[in-house]
A and B are shown apart, each in its own frame.
Chain A
C-alpha cells in the first residue's frame, strides 16, 4: 500500500486498517513519555496519579514519621531533651554516630581500593570477589552477627575475642556496609575514559598526578555518594551488632538496640526521642547526598 493511500484511510476516520501503521510511531513516543513520567512529568492523569503517590507516601512514610516526632515531643521539648540526654541514650547515640563516621571513612578508602582492584586489576579470583561483595546485601544481618560472634567471640577459633568491645561493633558495621562504596565507585571506574589518562600522560602527568587530578575528581562524587550510603546504613544497623556487642549500656550499645530496649521497657517516649535524632541525622545525610548529585548533574 502506498503511503498516501493509508493517509486517506486515516483521514476517512473509519479505517481500523489505517490505525496500526499510523499509531506505530506515536505509540513508541508515547511509551517514552510515560516512562519519563516516572521521573516527575506525568502525562496521563497527573492529578490522579499524583494523588495516589502522595497517599501512598503518606501511609507508608510520612504519617508514621510524623507520629514518631509527635510522640518524642509528647512531653514537650524539655522532655525530649531529657530523654535524649539521659546517659545511656546519649552514649548510644554518640557511639552510633562516631562508629558510623569511622565506618564511612574506612569504607571510603577500602571500598574505593576494592572497586579499583575489581576494575583495573587482572588478579585471579577477581570474579569471585566481585560476586561475594554483595553478600552483606543479601545476607540477613543477624546471620552476619552470628558469623562474627563465632569467629571473633569468646570461643574464637583464631583466639581473637572482640565480643562486648567497641571494636566488635566496628567490625560488624564494616561487614554490613562494605558493598556501598564498592558498588557506587565500580561502575564509574568502569566507564572512566582511558583516553583521558593517556591524554594526561602525554601532557607530562605522572601516574600519581593522573590519579589525583583526573581519576579522583571523576570518581569523587561516586565515592561521596557511596560513603554517605554506608554511613546511613551503619547508623541504622541492628542485627549484626546485637550479638557481638553484648549491648553493654553506655559502652557497646548502639542506638537501634537502645531503642529496642526502650520499647521493651514500655518507654515509648524514650524510644521515639532517640529515633527522632536518628531520623534527623539521616535527613541531613540525605540532603548531603542530594547536594552531591546536584553537583554531579551540573558538571555532566
Chain B
C-alpha cells in the first residue's frame, strides 16, 4: 500500500520540524528516512502514523486521505526505538494484543501468534516477560506485535538505535529478509547511512525539516544532488574546493594529464584498504587505495606523488536534480 505525503509542515513552538515536505512511497517498498538527528525524519514518520498532527499538508495511505484519521484507524504498524513493550504482558500476549482487542476467536489468535513468533524466532520465549528478553529480542517482539494486525504500512522509528553494533548488524540483514518475505510497505527512520544503504530500496534524505534528495542507494551515492547529501552518504575529502570520494582519487608516481602534485603526509594500513593522507599545496586531503596500489607506488611519508580525482560532485550534479515528489 502506497504512502503519499504532500506539502506537510509541522512546527513545535518556534522550531520548524517539517517544512513543506512531500514524499511518495510506492507500495511494497522498503524506504529509509535518513538524516542527522533533529532533521525531521521521526516527526515525518509520526505524522504518517497519526501520532502527530501536521499543521498543514496531506497524508494519504493506500489512496485514502488519512490526514485527520486517528492512529487507531490508519492501519499502520509502528515500531519504536525503545521497543514500547507492554511490560506487564508476556511476549505472547504482547503480540496478541492487536488481535485480542479486536475480539478475534481465541484459536485464531493462538495460531497467528505462533506463526508470528516463528517468523521473528521467538517461539521459545512466548511465556517470558519483556524484561527477560535482550534488546534485540524485544525489538523482534515489537515487530511481530506490529505485524499481527496485518498493517497496510509498517513504520519503524530508529528500530535498531538502542541496540549494540553486533545485534544491529544482524537485525538489519534480518529486516531485509523479513521484508522480502512479508512485502508490507515499510518505512524506517535511521541516522546511520550504512544502515540505510544496506537495507533500503529507496532512501529519503532529510535535514532541517526538508527533503534533500530521494533515490536508490546507488543513485544517492553516485549522484548526490548537494554537498550535504554527498558528505552524509559516505566519506568525502576536498580537493581544489571540490568534494570527492577518497576512493575516487587516482595516484601516480609520474606526472599525468590532469594530475596535480601532492605530498604523502601519512600512510595508514587498515587491513585491505590503505588510507593516504595528502598535502596538496598546503591543503589537507586524503585518499583511500588498495593495499596493492600502496605497495606498487611504494607509498611512504614524505613521498612526492601525483593525484587525479576521477569524479567530483559538481561535475555530475546536473544529472540528478532533487526528485522529491511528483
A residues near B (Cβ < 8 Å) are 193, 195-196, 198-206, 209, 213-214, 217-218, 299-300
10 A-B contacts (beta carbon < 8 Å): A193-B87, A195-B80, A196-B85, A198-B78, A199-B86, A203-B98, A203-B145, A203-B149, A204-B98, A206-B72
The residue in chain A whose Cβ has the minimal distance to the Cβ of B80 is A195
Question: Is the beta-carbon distance between B78 and A200 smaller than 8 angstroms?
Answer: no
User: A195-B84, A198-B51, A202-B51 are contacts. A299–B129 as well, Cβ < 8 Å?
Assistant: yes
A209 to B77, CA, bound (A): 18
Among A203, A209, A299, the residue within 8 A (CB) of B88 is: A299
Is B101 close to A, CB under 8 A? yes
- Are A218 and B80 in contact, with the CB atoms below 8 A? no
- Contact check, B78 vs A199: say whether CB atoms are below 8 A apart: yes
Asked whether, in the complex, the Cβ of A199 is within 8 Å of the Cβ of B80, the reply is yes
On chain A, the residues within 8 Å of B129 by CB distance are 299
> Which residues of B line the A interface, CB within 8 A?
49-51, 70-74, 76-78, 80, 82-88, 97-98, 101-102, 129, 131, 142, 145-146, 148-149
Q: Which residues of the partner chain B approach A218 to less than 8 Å between Cβ atoms?
A: 87-88
Distance, CA A200 to CA B71, complexed state (A): 9
A300: nearest residue on chain B (CB-CB)? B131
> What chain A residues lie within 8 Å of B149 (beta carbons)?
203-204
* B residues less than 8 Å from A213 (CB atoms): 97, 101
Which residues of A sit under 8 angstroms from B72, Cβ to Cβ? 201-202, 204-206
9 closest residue pairs by CB, A with B: A195-B84, A203-B98, A199-B84, A202-B78, A217-B88, A201-B71, A195-B80, A202-B71, A204-B72
Closest to A197 in B: B84
Question: In the complex, A195→B71 CA distance in Å?
Answer: 13
- In angstroms, Cα B73 to Cα A99, docked, is 46
Q: How many A-B residue pairs have CB under 8 A?
A: 71
- Residue contact B86 to A202, C-beta cutoff 8 Å: no
Chain A residue nearest in CB terms to B82:
A195
Nearest B residue to A220 via CB reads B88
B88 CB contacts on chain A under 8 angstroms: 217-218, 299
A196-B101 in contact given A202-B72, A204-B72 (Cβ < 8 Å): no
Q: Is the CB of A299 within 8 A of B51?
A: no
Query: How far is the CB of B151 from the nearest CB of chain A, in Å?
Result: 8
- The residues of B that contact A195 with a CB separation of less than 8 Å are 80, 82-84
Q: How far is the CB of A191 from chain B (nearest CB, A)?
A: 11
| B residues less than 8 Å from A299 (CB atoms) | 87-88, 129, 131
| Contacting pair B101 A199 (CB below 8 A) | no
Min distance, Cβ A207 to any Cβ of chain B, angstroms: 9
Residues of B within 8 A of A202 (CB): 49-51, 71-72, 74, 76-78, 146
A206 and B103 CA atoms in complex are apart in Å by 13
* B50, B74, B84, B146 pick with most chain A CB within 10 angstroms: B84
Report B67 CB to chain A, min CB distance, Å.
16
A203 touches B97 (CB 8 A): yes
> Which residue of B77, B83, B101, B131 contacts A205 across the interface (Cβ within 8 Å)?
B101
- Closest CB of chain A to B124's CB: distance in Å? 20
**Given A199-B145, A300-B131; A209-B101 close (CB under 8 Å):** yes
Give complex CA distance A214, B87 in Å: 9
Nearest CB on A from B104, distance (A): 11
Q: Give, as a whole number of angstroms, the nearest-CB distance from B197 to chain A.
A: 27
Kindly identify which residue among B51, B80, B85, B101 contacts A204, using a CB–CB cutoff of 8 Å.
Answer: B101
Residues of B within 8 A of A209 (CB): 101
**Extra 13 A-B pairs, beta carbons < 8 Å, given A199-B78, A202-B51, A206-B72:** A193-B84, A193-B87, A198-B51, A198-B78, A198-B84, A202-B74, A203-B101, A204-B101, A205-B101, A214-B86, A218-B87, A299-B131, A300-B87
